[in-house]
Amino acid sequence: MVASEQALVTGKQLDTLCINTIRTLAIDAVQQANSGHPGAPMGLAPVTYCLWQEFLRYDPEDPTWLNRDRFVLSNGHASMLLYAMLHLAGVREVDESGKVLKELAVPMEEIKRFRQLGSRTPGHPESHITTGVETTTGPLGQGVGNSLGMAIASRWLAANFNRPELEIFNYNVYAICSDGDLMEGIGGEAASLAGHLKLSNLCWIYDHNGVTLDGPASWSFSEDVATRFVGYGWNVTRVADANDLEMLGRAFETFEKTTDRPTLIMVDSHIGYGSPHKQDSNAAHGEPLGEEEVRLVKKFYGWPEDAKFLVPEGVREHFQDGLGNRGHDVRAQWARTFAEYSKKYPELADRLHRMQRRELPSGWDKNLPTFPADPKGVATRESSGKVLNLLAQDIPWLIGGSADLATSNKTTLKFEGAGDFEAGNYGGRNLHFGVREHAMGASVNGLIVSRIRAFGATFFNFSDYMRASIRLAALMEIPSIFVFTHDSIGVGEDGPTHQPIEQLASLRAMPNLIVLRPGDANEVVEAWKIIAQLQHQPAALVLTRQALPTFDRTKYGAASGTAKGAYILADAPGGKPDVILMGTGSEVSLCIEAYEKLKAEGIQARVVSMPSWEIFEKQDKPYKESVLPPSITARVSVEMAATFGWERYVGLKGRKVGMHRFGASAPLKDLLKFFGFTADAVVEEARKAIAEK
């Protein structure tokens, strides 16, 4: 055997050794936790190894490098696959300030603590916990939806920052997905839009293993996935055996050469030992293998049967020689290019620096308006549209769009140069998501983790379609922006299918989400100021279709009180009211009407506008008690929504004017009368509250 052949054999043996190390780390971690999914990591180990070792442009020594390729594990139940890769590749930990540390992001002790309280290796990957995890995945379909946003981000960044001879952004996005990801509707939505946009920087690797948690995928899934994706406008290629590194390499090369469409690589894998001839039932159904089966699997791999968490000599070195050195060299070349770029385009370099730190440009709020008092007023969706356009002009990386409702949501960016993001023209700031709320929510999160400030908009009732994405944004602690209009029975004739009732209470129940429902145009300005400055929390901005009066702030409290979540808008003489009226959004003006009527009757009232419960709850006790004194128990809440939750503020003796059923189809004036949203009705409830105190 000649030396070159010997080296080839040795190289293949080393490949196999590394792949089996990934597999056995997953097996041992799942077995020790007595919880988890060993099968998918076992089957996908060769695929991920080939991608990372040969193709992924990623430097483990700088996992926040701006132009790194992104890797998303959409089938998040296979999390040990990712943790094993992060460990073996030597990916470094990054602290909260963005500093890269010497310690590993996933040291061996964390693999041994898989699925344990406080570990960096939770059951499904969480980006705010584990460096190297690009996005939090778990609910199937969300990861591929995020990957769409990441691919859009790469194209947008390239179009807006690259300059002749100085290419700063050209990264690719890879997502491994499962049968489940492609069964979920969000997967189809994301694939459809990616194909429409011709995002050739996006590659999905479909783990075609024919197994779901219930049993064979054939029980519920028999479509021709390849033909479906061809119909979406994707390039589709297939690898018949997940263990065939040569064919996997060719598939990734095909992706890199494809310049006019995204790529789907269908990989036929076999849950279990990683052999086409063996499949283990426990591995297939998301359970630990059991001690005896672990021994048999390790024997099949030629592994020491009693060894646990073994990383053989040469494995880490091999990853360093491949991914490590290649990633280091590519990043070093990029750093030289960026140094030249920074000298030539200092403003753009500063912009990128601020984006990474979630900072705002100087003077970002300098053009925000103050709306004059107006009894007829304007819908908060209208005032929001004006504020958004002014804000976006001064925050150049604020982009977004609507699920085919931009005209209704007033979210179109209309200033000169805003433009549309479309196939072949990726610099625009208006995104057109089509009627795809699920994919919109997930791709907004993908844009946000790419450090672009993005918003997605639709009618409030359809926030239900986006709930999983909103929830993951809150879990990831990222400042996604969700704009919702048509926020109540104020939708009128469209009827109960379009009138949100329970959505406010539902979103308020979500940890780490800021819900803002401003009561007039100037509260809208203040709400956008709050949203712009968020760094670790998503926001839901809830806006009206119908016009609301713009309050005379010389007569009533300043709108700046919005920054505290709730504030006194109108008060009794000496600050000693008989009753407190509180509301949000369109119902604040109803409280003001009732306040004036009560005043004429000699009843002293206070009106509290409460645009954000979450922000109000963060205030100190003295402030909260200054707004809602415990001694005043006569209280009335007014909100065109389910009253669930208002007992926190009105107390046991308070009254709640709200919705106790779904809405109805009728003109707004008829609905207001029918459901009791009139000043007279509020006055009557105020009298009852006073009588019962």
Helix (H, G, I), strand (E, B) or coil at 103: strand
- The answer to whether 271 touches 297, Cβ cutoff 8 Å, is no
- Give which of 528, 518, 503, 598 is closest to 550, Cα–Cα: 518
- The answer to whether 578 touches 690, Cβ cutoff 8 Å, is yes
Is residue 317 within a helix (H) or strand (E), and if so which, with residue range?
helix 315-319
**What's the full length of the chain, in residues?**
693
Residue 339 burial (C-beta neighbours within 10 Å; 0-12, 13-18, 19+): exposed
Sheet with strand 453-459: strands edge to edge: 430-432, 398-402, 453-459, 481-485, 539-542, 514-516
- The answer to whether 78 touches 114, Cβ cutoff 8 Å, is no
- The answer to whether 609 touches 516, Cβ cutoff 8 Å, is no
Cβ-based neighbours of 11, under 8 Å, separated by 6 or more? none
Q: Check if 437 is active-site.
A: yes
- Give which of 191, 142, 171, 192 is closest to 71, Cα–Cα: 171
Q: Which of 126, 189, 287, 437 is catalytic?
A: 437
548 phi/psi in degrees, rounded to 5 = -125, 145
Strands 605-609 and 579-583: parallel
627 phi/psi in degrees, rounded to 5 = -85, -45
Residue 523 burial (C-beta neighbours within 10 Å; 0-12, 13-18, 19+): buried
Tell me the C-alpha distance between 362 and 13, whole Å.
56
Is residue 383 within a helix (H) or strand (E), and if so which, with residue range?
helix 380-394
- The answer to whether 520 touches 570, Cβ cutoff 8 Å, is no
- Give which of 652, 558, 644, 658 is closest to 609, Cα–Cα: 558
For residues 673, 674, 679 and 684, what is the CA-based torsion angle, rounded to 10 degrees?
140
- The answer to whether 637 touches 582, Cβ cutoff 8 Å, is yes
- Give which of 204, 198, 206 is closest to 175, Cα–Cα: 204
Residues serving a catalytic function are 437
